[in-house]
Copies of this chain bind each other. A is one copy, B any other.
Amino acid sequence: MSAANISRYPVPDINGLPQDIKERVLAVQEKAGFVPNVFLALAHRPDEFRAFFAYHDALLTRESGLSKAEREMIVVATSNDNGCQYCVVAHGAILRIRAKNPLVADQVAVNYRKADITPRQKAMLDFAMKVSNDSKSVCDEDFVTLRHHGFSDEDIWDIAGITAFFGLSNRMANFTSMRPNDEFYAMGREPS
């Protein structure tokens, strides 16, 4: 696949990248076996690349009352709602792997209300959809509902933060026509 498929914008050669970005790209390649296109597409703007992944890591790698699979559920549900092909396909793969469940990503993408997830997780995704589509109406009652499901206020920040960050990511991927790598589609689909 040519670089032209990855993004509307020029995609830099890995060897020409600033050293810190090059190291990050090579590390993910080492781990995943390929370079996810988001790294190449966003490297067009090194400063924004650094901030983007710093934000990403701050939200997705911190200690949290949300499991790693739950965080990916938020990404998948809001990304399908925003029509973001890159994030649904790439994070769908990660969700299948994190949840050790080959079915849950497609279920959550199309209609999380009918997915094989817990009522607590559905409440989490209801709130994510409100933050994504109607954040001006977020109110105290939303916090009461979420606490009722066992979420701490820090967990609630995590839900909102991941939703808001992937809202940015979805808009950037849609705007640049970022293409998901072919490798993602089948990852994690074998029963564990």
Q: How far is the CB of A2 from chain B (nearest CB, A)?
A: 13
B185 lies within 8 A of A160 (CB)? no
Q: Per a CB cutoff under 8 Å, which of B138, B168, B176, B182 touches A174?
A: B138
0/1 string, A56-80, CB within 8 A of B gives 1 = 0111001000000000000000011
Find chain B residues with CB under 8 A from A111 CB: 83-85, 136, 174
Q: Per a CB cutoff under 8 Å, which of B54, B174, B179 touches A54?
A: B54
A77-104 interface (Cβ within 8 A of B) = 79-80, 82-85, 88-89, 92, 102-103
Find chain B residues with CB under 8 A from A92 CB: 106
A1-59 interface (Cβ within 8 A of B) = 8-9, 44-45, 47-48, 50-52, 54-55, 57-59
Query: Could you tell me the distance between the alpha carbons of A55 and B59 in the complex, rounded to whole angstroms?
Result: 15
A172 lies within 8 A of B161 (CB)? yes
Question: A121 within 8 Å of B by Cβ?
Answer: no
Q: What's the number of copies of this chain in the assembled complex?
A: 6
Question: A123 within 8 Å of B by Cβ?
Answer: no
B54 lies within 8 A of A171 (CB)? no
Could you list which residues of chain A lie within 8 angstroms of chain B, going by C-beta atoms? Answer: 8-9, 44-45, 47-48, 50-52, 54-55, 57-59, 62, 79-80, 82-85, 88-89, 92, 102-103, 106-107, 109-111, 113-115, 131-132, 135-139, 143, 153, 157, 160-161, 163-165, 167-168, 170-172, 174-177, 179, 182, 185-186, 189-190
Q: List 10 A-B contacts (CB under 8 A).
A: A47-B54, A48-B58, A51-B54, A83-B135, A84-B135, A102-B186, A106-B185, A114-B179, A135-B174, A161-B172
